[in-house]
């Protein structure tokens, strides 16, 4: 990617800027992901990335700024909207996963009919672990590993924290990730022994 097309991932924080000459501007301070509003403003070296209400990206000279005020109500409403969108996407992904799992259950494995293959999983806890990962009883070692990696990426708290997800949802994801890790350890051990 060339330097001219590279754009750093940012979050927008609604703000009002009071200029030294008496003018005021409203828009969004562009804050790099992983940094907060206050840190960005206090560590800015001369200029600050700013987006006006009409979408124009510009830079503010901090020498001409008297005060920058975060518009908390606008930011909390925007974060709630982002959380709602993330929840909708997660629900949609879960619905798709459920549909796929049901479709997989309906499919008859040709190996089952011939009796050529038996499931390496025999205990109830192994079947529960398969359910946690959303796999059938004839899952291969590669399928288990691939599904595990996909779910870890989906539920990892650090990734969700970087997306600005609420603490309550991050706590749920951490619990779910612990279940996924335990299920994977059990299934990997059984699949390796088989």
pLDDT tens for 104-155 read 666 554 444 444 455 666 677 888 888 888 888 787 888 889 999 999 988 8
Closest CA to 155 of 110, 63, 93, 103: 93
Strands ordered across the beta sheet of 65-70: 57-61, 47-52, 24-32, 10-19, 65-70
Angle, vertex CA 137, rays to CA 135 and CA 143, nearest 5:
45
Q: Residue 169: is its pLDDT beyond 70?
A: yes
Q: What is the mean pLDDT of residues 158-174?
A: 87
Question: Where would I find the beta strands (DSSP E) of 24-141?
Answer: 24-32, 47-52, 57-61, 65-70
Tokens of 134: 């959303």
- Asked if 29 and 15 touch (Cβ cutoff 8 Å), the reply is yes
Mean pLDDT of the residues in the chain: 79
Global pTM reads: 0.39
DSSP character for 25?
E
Q: Coil, strand or helix: which one is 7?
A: coil
Residue among 137, 146, 115, 152 nearest 190 (CA) = 137
Delineate the domains of the chain, giving CATH numbers in brackets.
Answer: 10-70 (2.30.30.520), 80-193 (1.10.287)
Distance CA 111, CA 108 (A): 8
Q: Tally Cβ neighbours within 10 Å of residue 165.
A: 20
Residues in CB range of 191: below 8 A, 6 or more apart: 120, 139, 140, 141, 144
- The number of residues in the chain equals 194
Structure tokens at 172: 């749920």
Q: What percent of the chain has pLDDT over 70?
A: 81
């Amino acid at each position: 990617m060339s330097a001219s097309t590279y754009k750093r991932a940012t979050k927008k924080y609604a703000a009002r800027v009071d200029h030294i000459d008496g003018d005021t501007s409203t828009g969004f301070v562009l804050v790099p992901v992983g940094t907060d509003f206050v840190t960005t403003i206090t560590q800015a070296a001369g200029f600050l990335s700013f987006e006006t209400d009409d979408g124009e990206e510009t830079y503010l000279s901090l020498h001409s700024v008297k005060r920058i005020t975060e518009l908390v109500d606008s930011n909390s409403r925007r974060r709630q909207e982002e959380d709602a969108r993330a929840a909708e996407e997660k629900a949609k992904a879960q619905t798709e996963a459920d549909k796929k799992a049901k479709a997989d259950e309906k499919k008859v494995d040709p190996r089952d009919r011939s009796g050529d293959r038996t499931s390496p999983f025999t205990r109830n806890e192994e079947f529960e672990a398969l359910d946690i990962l959303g796999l059938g009883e004839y899952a291969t070692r590669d399928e288990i590993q691939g599904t595990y990696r996909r779910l870890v990426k989906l539920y990892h708290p650090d990734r969700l924290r970087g997306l600005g997800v609420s603490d309550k949802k991050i706590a749920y994801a951490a619990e779910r990730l612990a279940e996924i890790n335990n299920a994977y350890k059990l299934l990997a051990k059984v699949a390796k022994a088989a």
